[in-house]
Amino acid sequence: MGLLDNIKQQIGSQFIEIIQWLDETNDSLVYRFPVYNQEIKMGAQLTVRENQVALFINEGKAADLFTPGRYELSTQNIPILTTLRGWKYGFQSPFKAELYFFNTRLFTDLKWGTTNPVMMRDTEFGMIRLRAFGTYAMKIADPKLFFNTVVGTQGLTTTDEIAGQLRSIVLSKLSDAIAESKIPALDIASKYDELSAFGRGRIGPEFGAFGLELSKFFIENVSLPEEVEAAIDQRTKLGVLGDRLGQYTQLQAADAMKVAAANPGGVAGVGVGIGAGVAMGQAMGTAFGMSAGAGGAGAPTPPPAPGGVAPPPPPGAPASPRWSLTVDGKTYGPYTDEALKGMLAAGQVAPTTLAWCPGASGWAPVQGYPEFGAGAGAPPLPPPPPASR
């Protein structure tokens, strides 16, 4: 033993130790009190503050637990250690043990979010992918269990260190909660409170297995894939217009002008776009007239097929608008096949413009669809020049 060690030992034998934790952080869950040579003097003063508990560890196992207050360590107030160590006398001898402080306050505004989309089956849209994020609040409810399951085995002491493990639990159980709640995708935004309470009921017991209490759980946002949002936008547009087909025709003409202005060639072919909008309005009028007995203009659109391009309408059926275009982050449409072919032929829509229709697996260039591939919708060749005489 060196000279410095002797000095430390002599000082420790003459002064009563003061044991306390002044937490200067905002994310510490556990603090291991540094004790020289793991020796704590019998008779030392232990101060446990509000929102704290102190736990003595004997040979890696949890022993005595102290709640807020001030204590003089003796054989009377550390009964478990006294029994394990076999102390029969109250003399001022040091004993070897570890001491951990646990922060029992409520930790709020902890973030969670889906790194990858969550698959779920919706009654209206079929299989869809959802992204979600929110916050939760937790606190240590059982320090001994928390030490045995988290601190003792993994040495994690801050909220950031255990956030990854807790986030995995949240996402796993939340996926099950969303599926079991059977809330339609269109209604999730209005059911955040109910879904949050349902999710907390599923996730809470998992936190409890670590000695933690899930005090609060909030869902702040659930977002749908672009394809589903585009279908919702189309349905909303038709629902707002209702039977006012004249206004619908004007809207299609205005959309055609916007698409033409955003594509190469400018508005040179705007007349064709207006004509396409008018033709589409007429086609919609026919479609609405034929479907009046099946629910009218507000009848819901069938959900898209799992993949591929939706089949064309059966022979003899009136054309219906099904193609949506996206230009500069904005969505236009829907357009019928003939209207879109006319816009392509007039140069209003570039072949590389992204398009989507119900049943397509995602947004793709117009030229990538069989209906508008090479040669589709191309203007007829001019007549040959007259023969020279």
Q: In the predicted model, is pLDDT for residue 374 greater than 70? A: no
**C-alpha span between 164 and 112 (Å, rounded):** 9
Tokens for 39? Answer: 């020796």
**C-alpha span between 27 and 53 (Å, rounded):** 16
pTM over 0.75: no
Q: Looking at residue 311, what is its pLDDT? A: 52
* 315 domain-assigned: no
Is residue 259 very low, low, confident or very high in pLDDT (cuts 50, 70, 90)?
low
Q: In the predicted model, is pLDDT for residue 214 greater than 80? A: yes
- Could you identify the residue written with the tokens 């040179």? 268
Closest by CA to 99, choosing from 67, 63, 139, is 63
Residues 6+ positions from 80 with CB-CB distance below 8 Å: 56, 58, 63, 64
Domain shared by 353 and 248, yes or no: yes
Domain shared by 242 and 339, yes or no: yes
Most confident among 52-66, 123-137, 254-268 (mean pLDDT): 52-66
Q: Looking at residue 316, what is its pLDDT? A: 56
Residues 6+ positions from 163 with CB-CB distance below 8 Å: 110, 111
- Across all residues in the chain, what is the average pLDDT? 74
* 378 domain-assigned: no
* 276 domain-assigned: yes
Domain shared by 50 and 34, yes or no: yes
Domain shared by 231 and 368, yes or no: yes
Q: What are phi and psi of 159, to 5 degrees?
A: -65, -35
Instruction: Give me the number of domains the chain comprises.
Output: 3
| Average pLDDT estimate for 186-208 | 87
Q: Looking at residue 11, what is its pLDDT? A: 46
| Average pLDDT estimate for 334-346 | 86
Please state, in angstroms and as integers, the Cα–Cα distance from residue 187 to each residue in 12, 105, 122, 184, 236, following that order: 67, 36, 11, 5, 14
Domain shared by 17 and 82, yes or no: yes
Tokens for 374? Answer: 């090479």
* 245 domain-assigned: yes
Domain shared by 253 and 351, yes or no: yes
172, 203, 224: which is the final residue of a domain? 224
* 389 domain-assigned: no
Domain extent for 26: 6-103
Domain shared by 236 and 337, yes or no: yes
Q: Looking at residue 359, what is its pLDDT? A: 79
Domain shared by 115 and 85, yes or no: no
Please state, in angstroms and as integers, the Cα–Cα distance from residue 114 to each residue in 7, 130, 134, 161, 244, following that order: 56, 9, 10, 18, 42
* 299 domain-assigned: no
Domain shared by 242 and 348, yes or no: yes
103, 133, 164: which is the final residue of a domain? 103
Q: Looking at residue 371, what is its pLDDT? A: 83
Helix segments in 242-355, DSSP class H? 245-262, 270-290, 337-345
Domain shared by 119 and 94, yes or no: no
Which region among 21-30, 120-129, 144-153 has the lowest average model confidence (pLDDT)?
120-129
79, 103, 127: which is the final residue of a domain? 103
* 232 domain-assigned: yes
Is residue 87 very low, low, confident or very high in pLDDT (cuts 50, 70, 90)?
low
Inter-axis angle of helices 192-208 and 159-181, nearest 10: 130
Domain shared by 264 and 345, yes or no: yes
Is residue 50 very low, low, confident or very high in pLDDT (cuts 50, 70, 90)?
very high
- pLDDT tens digits for range 6-23: 444 544 444 457 899 998
Is residue 306 very low, low, confident or very high in pLDDT (cuts 50, 70, 90)?
very low
Domain shared by 173 and 211, yes or no: yes
**C-alpha span between 303 and 248 (Å, rounded):** 23
Give the H/E segment covering residue 335: strand 330-335
Q: In the predicted model, is pLDDT for residue 142 greater than 70? A: yes
Q: Looking at residue 52, what is its pLDDT? A: 95
* 178 domain-assigned: yes
DSSP 8-state secondary structure symbol assigned to residue 188: G
List strands edge to edge, sheet with 52-58: 30-32, 98-103, 52-58, 61-66
Which region among 156-160, 162-166, 271-275 has the lowest average model confidence (pLDDT)?
271-275
